[in-house]
Chains A and B, each alone.
Chain A
Amino acid sequence: MSDAAKPGKGTEQKDGPPAVNADTTKTQTSGLTPHEVEIRQDAAAGLEPEVVGVRHGMFGVTQGGDTSGYSRLQRPILIAGAAARPYGGYFDEIADNLERGLVGGTASYAEAVDRVVIDRGEMTLRVRRQHLPAVARVLRDDPSLRFEICTGVSGVHYPDRAGEELHAVYHLLSITHGGRRVRVEVSCPDDDRHIPSIVSIYPANDWHERETWDMFGIEFDGHPALTRILMPDDWPGHPQRKDYPLGGIPVEYKGATVPPPDQRRSYN
């Protein structure tokens, strides 16, 4: 039926390779997600993605055997790396103005800002922790930047990223400049959990820094009263850290228990 519908093709197919393999010349993505393809294209353009971990197996099974037959598969977890100019949009302007605003201060732009990451239409300034207050002050006070509002700090714990296990992520909003946003990300190693406080610059961060200390154990040096805020005062440990032990559930059946969620066999 297909031969009749497509005259002349039948003979071609007999001689040539099967039609299934006809597009081998095209880029083979070999099961990569569109995001991974995009990041690899960025890498081809000179922007090196950052490897932040390795994913094992097909389904992310961490407990028990991977029955998929792909258990030895290893794939790096890639996130967007340092961006190259132009960043696009208002991001170049922010970088330029920050560079100018930092002149004459305690640190130059190159010293303070480790790298700039542009990902999903958002700008991230990776700032070295000792220079965070200087950068925050310029971001707030410089008329061309004027990020009036800091919407708090969010901690993230990456146990696998040696030397920068704990991250503090600040999101800034400029009302003056029509809703511009920038993210400032600071990291500290787990054995030296200190990040300078910016409460003196953004008083709104008072409770947010207390929360991040409470949940992650990051000590914000210079905070007026770094005490627990959500957990009880005498609580041991910092619950949102990935190494914080989770509780299982005892079951009334021959002493069985449901293991804690991080020890169950599950997909991730």
Chain B
Amino acid sequence: MSTHTEFTQTEVPEHGANDIYATSSADEQASQGAHVFNAAGGDWNDLVDEATSLGEERIVVNMGPQHPSTHGVLRLILEIDGETVTEARAGIGYLHTGIEKNMEYRSWVQGVTFCTRMDYLTPMFQEAAYCLAIEKLLGITEQIPERASVIRVLMMEMTRISSHMVCLGTGGMEMGATTVMTVAFRERERLLRVIEMITGLRMNNAYVRPGGVAQDLPPGSIDALREMVPEIRRGLGELEALLNENPVLKGRTVDVGVLDLAGCMALGITGPVLRSTGLPHDLRKLDPYCGYETYDFDVITRTSQDAYGRLRIRIDEMYESLKIIEQATDRLQGSEGPVMVEDKKIAWPAQLALGSDGLGNSLDHIREIMGSSMESLIHHFKLVTEGFRVPPGQVYQAVESAKGELGCHLVSDGGTRPYRAHFRDPSFNNLQAVAAMCEGSQIADVIVAVASIDPVMGGVDR
């Protein structure tokens, strides 16, 4: 029994048959001049010493863009020293689809179908930011019916919960906890069922439209909402029982991905990451839109500045969102009214209705334009094919998305299409914090830190 290290740097052996660790001859060809280590017994310390003395400790690793734990096609370029990350950079652009450019060649209404696909986990926020910006350009912000605003708030808060659920679920899965994922996705499914009931789609909804929303709540949706809220609350309790004091989770997340207030301010970070430093910054309170000032909810903050704090903030924010959903449901139950602006030059000409052959234009409307009023037909045709014109100028509208400040900068030249549509996606901005959060930490902590930012590459690359 030999305890001494059989650890030598050898020539590539000529007769592979004598060497039980020999590589194939093809590999030998490729490895000409490379170091070959034969490890047979011995101590890892010696191996490390040997490797260190060779002066090749600078290793650059590409994590992604096809890595299951980087939230889609994020590429992390890590310089590592053993398990320690000495430098971290994020490479993006693998999901760039030119949505902003595409929007310049579609009418203002069609733009909704594009921007909803940016951050595909928070479709309602892009739609709302875009439509609020158009309404500001048109100068009809005050004319949006109350009911439409309440429905927008309702949809945005449901989207916030479903986005946070994915964040927790995938974040847990990346740490190896599949149960978090199953619970979170089960609860998200309840939300998506109601969202599908109201908008017709689970994602890419194109439900919020310039001037209001595409259609009123279908019958039965109030009941579905009332049924959903306590179930989600129960599921959240389950998640909390599973996560909050879980020693493994705390071991992985406490004091990981730390970014203090100064760092957040310098890097323009918003959303749960900023609130984990204790600053109660929330555009729903600071710069309200859609009537958020009339709802009763709290801005959740913590002071731990780490991934654990952000996780707890997300859980608590979901409870606050449930509170808002309940208030919005109350308002919708008691009220009736239009969900689209009155101005017929802007309002989408038809309300959708569920027919025997699926969702489509309401039969009453078809009957009117095809049977009785030629002017209605012309009006419908002009508005749908040509679209409305928006006075020249530019606006910026920001909403508090699940991930932070989502801004929409629109420029109009007076035409029927946006002259320029730019989205300031919170994930795009927040990903810049990867370097600050990860350098000096372990590789395993990189995953946790990135998950705590909750980037969605569809939004980052647009």
Q: How far is the CA of A203 from the CA of B93 in the complex (A)?
A: 20
Q: Chain B residues near A155 (CB, 8 Å)?
A: 422
B368 interface contact, C-beta 8 A: no
Q: 1/0 per position for A129-162, CB-CB distance to B under 8 A? A: 0000000000000000000111110111100000
B416 interface contact, C-beta 8 A: yes
Give the interface segment out of B181-189, B331-339, B404-412: B404-412
User: Residue on B with the closest CB to A60?
Assistant: B415
The verdict on A122 contacting B396 (CB below 8 Å), with A33-B391, A261-B105, A267-B386 known, is yes
Query: Of A33, A36, A59, A207, which one neighbours B428 at CB under 8 angstroms?
Result: A207
Q: Is the CB of B392 within 8 A of A78?
A: yes
Q: Is the CB of A239 within 8 A of B98?
A: yes
Q: Is the CB of B136 within 8 A of A151?
A: no
B417 interface contact, C-beta 8 A: yes
Q: 1/0 per position for B88-112, CB-CB distance to A under 8 A? A: 0000110010101100010000000
B429 interface contact, C-beta 8 A: yes
Q: Is the CB of A207 within 8 A of B429?
A: yes
Q: Is the CB of B93 within 8 A of A151?
A: no
Q: 1/0 per position for B384-408, CB-CB distance to A under 8 A? A: 0111010111111010000001010
Q: Is the CB of B139 within 8 A of A35?
A: yes
B413 interface contact, C-beta 8 A: yes
Q: Is the CB of A267 within 8 A of B387?
A: yes
User: Residue on B with the closest CB to A201?
Assistant: B266
User: Residue on B with the closest CB to A211?
Assistant: B428
B26 interface contact, C-beta 8 A: no
A87 interface contact, C-beta 8 A: no
B204 interface contact, C-beta 8 A: no
Q: Is the CB of A148 within 8 A of B429?
A: no
User: Residue on A with the closest CB to B419?
Assistant: A156
The verdict on A169 contacting B394 (CB below 8 Å), with A207-B428, A240-B100, A262-B105 known, is yes
Give the interface segment out of A94-102, A103-111, A171-179: A171-179
B304 interface contact, C-beta 8 A: no
Q: Is the CB of A149 within 8 A of B270?
A: yes
Query: Of B137, B393, B424, which one neighbours A152 at CB under 8 angstroms?
Result: B424
- Chain A facing B: main interface SS: mixed
Q: Is the CB of A80 within 8 A of B429?
A: no
Q: Is the CB of A59 within 8 A of B386?
A: yes
Q: Is the CB of B137 within 8 A of A120?
A: yes
Q: How far is the CA of A13 from the CA of B267 in the complex (A)?
A: 73
Q: Chain A residues near B398 (CB, 8 Å)?
A: 151, 173
Interface residue range, chain B? 35 or more
Q: How far is the CA of A60 from the CA of B419 in the complex (A)?
A: 13
User: Residue on A with the closest CB to B436?
Assistant: A203
Give the interface segment out of A2-10, A18-26, A227-235, A248-256: A227-235
Summed over the interface, the residue pairs from A and B with CB atoms below 8 Å come to a total of: 127
> In the complex, which residues 276-315 of chain B have their Cβ closer than 8 Å to any Cβ of chain A?
279, 281, 283, 286-287
A32 to chain B, nearest CB (A): 10
Q: Is the CB of B96 within 8 A of A231?
A: yes
B414 interface contact, C-beta 8 A: yes
Query: Of B98, B413, B424, which one neighbours A151 at CB under 8 angstroms?
Result: B424
Q: How far is the CA of A55 from the CA of B416 in the complex (A)?
A: 12
B265 interface contact, C-beta 8 A: yes
B190 interface contact, C-beta 8 A: no
Q: Is the CB of B267 within 8 A of A203?
A: yes
Q: Chain B residues near A171 (CB, 8 Å)?
A: 396, 407, 409, 424
Q: Is the CB of A35 within 8 A of B413?
A: no
User: Residue on A with the closest CB to B394?
Assistant: A169
Q: Chain B residues near A121 (CB, 8 Å)?
A: 136
B268 interface contact, C-beta 8 A: yes
A43 to chain B, nearest CB (A): 14
A258 interface contact, C-beta 8 A: no
The verdict on A208 contacting B139 (CB below 8 Å), with A60-B415, A119-B393 known, is no
Q: Is the CB of B409 within 8 A of A204?
A: no
8 tightest A-B contacts by CB?
A204-B268, A35-B391, A179-B286, A154-B422, A179-B287, A261-B105, A268-B415, A230-B96
Q: List 30 A-B contacts (CB under 8 A).
A: A52-B392, A53-B413, A55-B414, A78-B392, A79-B392, A79-B393, A80-B393, A120-B136, A120-B395, A124-B394, A148-B265, A149-B270, A150-B268, A152-B429, A154-B409, A156-B411, A157-B420, A171-B407, A181-B287, A203-B432, A204-B268, A205-B268, A206-B432, A207-B428, A208-B429, A230-B93, A231-B96, A239-B98, A240-B101, A267-B386
Instruction: List 5 additional contacts besides A149-B265, A152-B424; criterion CB under 8 Å.
Output: A79-B392, A148-B265, A179-B286, A204-B269, A231-B93
